[in-house]
Amino acid sequence: GESVGLHLPTLSVQEGDNSIINCAYSNSASDYFIWYKQESGKGPQFIIDIRSNMDKRQGQRVTVLLNKTVKHLSLQIAATQPGDSAVYFCAENGAGSYQLTFGKGTKLSVIP
Amino acid sequence: KAGVTQTPRYLIKTRGQQVTLSCSPISGHRSVSWYQQTPGQGLQFLFEYFSETQRNKGNFPGRFSGRQFSNSRSEMNVSTLELGDSALYLCASSSPEYTRQGGTIGYGYTFGSGTRLTVV
């Protein structure tokens, strides 16, 4: 069936380096994507979103890239900080759908 | 403004019992959706409500049900609890300015902290 998946389950980066978290999706009808950060014991926290008519969107220290040709989504975090350590999920919202389909998550560990 | 509020934060129930979880969305948000999060299955969609109407339902048994009130607050109920129902139950609300009409898309699903349900 249609799904959103992540390439890497864990990612360790040095503090100050840039992080890249990837996500593959299979539903070509997906038209809206969101990245979430989830810390232990908390609900997912909205980071940044992008629509299918966009290739790139930037926020504060974060950039989301969307490649519709290969159905790939990535989250770039600049100057990664210890507070960025968490599990990151991509989520897809398909056209005509009222639900989010989540990837399995990538655990980001920042080494001080 | 206040975020999404879920109560209670923690629950312990016995197999066969039923449970009701509550979610208060961000003020002004009329869409509320529910998700189940487990280590094995990740985040899975349960159902979504808008203006007291269920618009979409995930692949969960009929033991899982929900409703939404006129003030947009929502509840979900799980009857005849099973051990496998142990999970973090998350509620999300989204902005009414971006309802799914005429090609526009949903926007900014904001999650609460969840209710941790343990079935023993």
pLDDT, one tens digit per residue, over B16-37 is 999 999 999 988 888 999 999 9
User: Where residue B95 falls among pLDDT bands split at 50, 70, 90?
Assistant: confident
A89 in B contact zone (CB under 8 Å): yes
Which among A34, A24, A40 has a CA at the least distance from the CA of A109? A40
* pLDDT attached to residue B47: 96
- B85 — phi, psi (to 5°)? -85, -5
Cis peptide before A44 (omega within 30 of 0): no
Could you tell me if A44 and B111 are in contact, meaning their C-beta atoms sit under 8 angstroms apart? yes
The CA-atom distances, in angstroms, between A108 and each of A13, A36, A37 are: 8, 12, 10
Chain-chain contact of B45 with A93 (C-beta, under 8 angstroms): no
Q: Which residues of B touch A91 (CB under 8 A)?
A: 43, 109
* pLDDT attached to residue A49: 87
pLDDT in tens, B40-62: 889 999 999 999 999 999 999 99
Say which DSSP state A28 is in. Answer: T
User: How many whole angstroms separate alpha carbon A86 and alpha carbon A93?
Assistant: 22
* pLDDT attached to residue A100: 93
Over pLDDT 70: what percentage of chain B?
Answer: 89
pLDDT in tens, A60-111: 899 999 999 999 999 999 999 999 999 999 999 887 788 999 998 999 999 9
* pLDDT attached to residue B97: 53
A40 in B contact zone (CB under 8 Å): no
Cα–chain-centroid distance for residue A78? 14
- B74 — phi, psi (to 5°)? -130, 155
Q: How far off is chain A from B33, nearest CA to CA, in Å?
A: 8
Closest chain A CA to residue B99: A98
Could you tell me if A92 and A101 are in contact, meaning their C-beta atoms sit under 8 angstroms apart? yes
* SS3 at position A43: coil
* SS3 at position B98: helix
More confident residue, B77 or B98: B77
* pLDDT attached to residue B103: 30
* pLDDT attached to residue B27: 87
- B84 — phi, psi (to 5°)? -70, -5
List b or e across A57-82, with b for residues whose CB sees 16 or more CB atoms inside 10 angstroms: eeeeebbbbbeeeebebbbbbeebee
Q: Which residues of A touch B112 (CB under 8 A)?
A: 43
pLDDT in tens, A17-37: 999 999 999 888 898 899 999
Q: How far off is chain B from A8, nearest CA to CA, in Å?
A: 15
Q: Which residues of A touch B55 (CB under 8 A)?
A: 98
* pLDDT attached to residue B1: 55
- B83 — phi, psi (to 5°)? -55, -35
